[in-house]
Copies of this chain bind each other. A is one copy, B any other.
Amino acid sequence: MALDLPALEQQHADFIKAGLKLDLTRGKPSFEQLDLSNALLESIDASLVSKNNDDGVDLRNYGGVNGLKQSKVWFADILGLPTAQSENNIFVGGNSSLSLMHFSLWLAFFIGFRDNTASWQQEAQEKNSRVKMLCPVPGYDRHFALCEQLGIEMIPVALTGSGPDIDQVQQLVSQDPMIKGIWCVPRFSNPTGEVYSEATVTAIAQLGKIAGNNFLVFWDNAYAVHVIENDAPVLSNIAEKAAQAGCEDSILQFASSSKMTFAGAGLAALASSQNNIQAFNKHFGLQSIGPDKINQLRHTQFLPSIEAIHQHMAQHAAILKPKFDTVDQILKQELGQDNNLGKWTKPTGGYFFSFDSQQGLAKTIIDLAAEAGVKLTPAGATFPYGRDPNDCNIRLAPSYPNLEELTLAMKVFCNCVKLATTKATI
């Protein structure tokens, strides 16, 4: 495609002149999506919270440190775990799953997750090495920030479109006993949108066999039920596969209602082996007087069954789909499909598009867009230490702006891609 540099520059100048203020940085639910859950703001009958006899606890008082029974069942349904397992295999807290990941990470790093596992820190001191974790890339910047805070060395692993490159993962883990964990967003991965294949899930479920019993898979199933297209791939059940392999102690599954109800006032869950949940409860219970049980009740009353949850998520999808369609359409219209200007895959769920420009152009494109009033996630943010070795990955988050704003932002973005690419090839 031959591009007309002066026209692109003129267009860019016009966008700058328009003084736009658009933002595609974070995966935030829109106003409309939040409105879907306004029933959570309705009053609760006092008799429901004071006489709720889940373990005989008045929901307004202290107690029930690991979550209400009904909220454990709620998350069991979301994660596809048997109801019978919910009591001993699930912990439900307040917002957010990120806090549960943080606590789990610190517990494993500083104290040892279970009584029979050494702290990662201690193992590293004994081996005169560093704690390391595998990070499929591009990935979620907040996972990386948690590692960076603790000085955990992050080893990037390539994503394939159906999860991380398993050969690479297995090889790395078998070579270095100080690789103690892996971050996974297995369904509608942030930002690629890919869903891990059954073979990948099976292999990850069994990593403990190679990596030992102090290895933890941080299975951040943030988008477990966040389907946009009806034909979205289903995720295999890692808990089942891990149990079959005797590796259940190495899997920590996280889920959250943040992008189902209110992003800032939701519930979060950890699901794992009985051993792990027992260890987690013991340590978490030292610093907690229990989660907000009233908010747990609000959620299970508002969405009382997995069918209700899926129907509710379909309403989210109805709002998100036009936005995802718009992003895809404008990218196609403006950039064509010959991969010269960039590559992307339209996700079937989740919150993001992952766009790869030509090598070395992501930062330039993002700076140009900022100049024209469109804020994008900083270049490199999807890689450990903020370093994208090819400087090509850009995360686009279409959920928050309305359709009109999104259309305009995407036009600005595409013009920046064309402008940067043309300049680079002159």
Q: Flag whether A310 is at the interface (Cβ < 8 A).
A: no
Binary CB contact string for chain A from 271 to 295 against chain B (1 if under 8 A, 0 otherwise): 0000000000001001111111111
Asked if B292 contacts A95 (CB within 8 A), the reply is: yes
Residues of chain B within 8 A of A61, CB atoms compared: 28-29, 34, 262-264
Asked if A287 contacts B102 (CB within 8 A), the reply is: yes
Task: Please tell me the size bucket of the interface on A.
Answer: 35 or more
Binary CB contact string for chain A from 38 to 66 against chain B (1 if under 8 A, 0 otherwise): 10011111100110000000111111100
Interface residues of A in 2-34 (CB under 8 A from B): 26, 28-29, 31, 34
Asked if B63 contacts A264 (CB within 8 A), the reply is: yes
- At the interface, is chain A mostly helix, strand, loop or mixed? loop
Which of A142-150, A224-232, A322-330 forms part of the interface with chain B?
A142-150
Chain B minimum-CB-distance residue to A266: B292
Bound form: Cα–Cα A289–B26 in Å? 12
Least Cβ–Cβ distance between A98 and chain B, in angstroms: 6
Q: Flag whether A111 is at the interface (Cβ < 8 A).
A: yes
Asked if B149 contacts A60 (CB within 8 A), the reply is: no
Q: A38-B46, A110-B110 are in contact. Are A62 and B289 (CB under 8 A)?
A: no
Q: List 8 additional A-B contacts (Cβ < 8 Å) besides A26-B62, A34-B50, A34-B61.
A: A28-B61, A34-B58, A95-B291, A95-B292, A99-B287, A99-B288, A102-B287, A292-B295
Residues of A within 8 A of B (CB): 26, 28-29, 31, 34-35, 37-38, 41-46, 49-50, 58-64, 94-96, 98-99, 101-103, 106, 110-111, 142, 145-146, 149, 258, 262-265, 283, 286-295
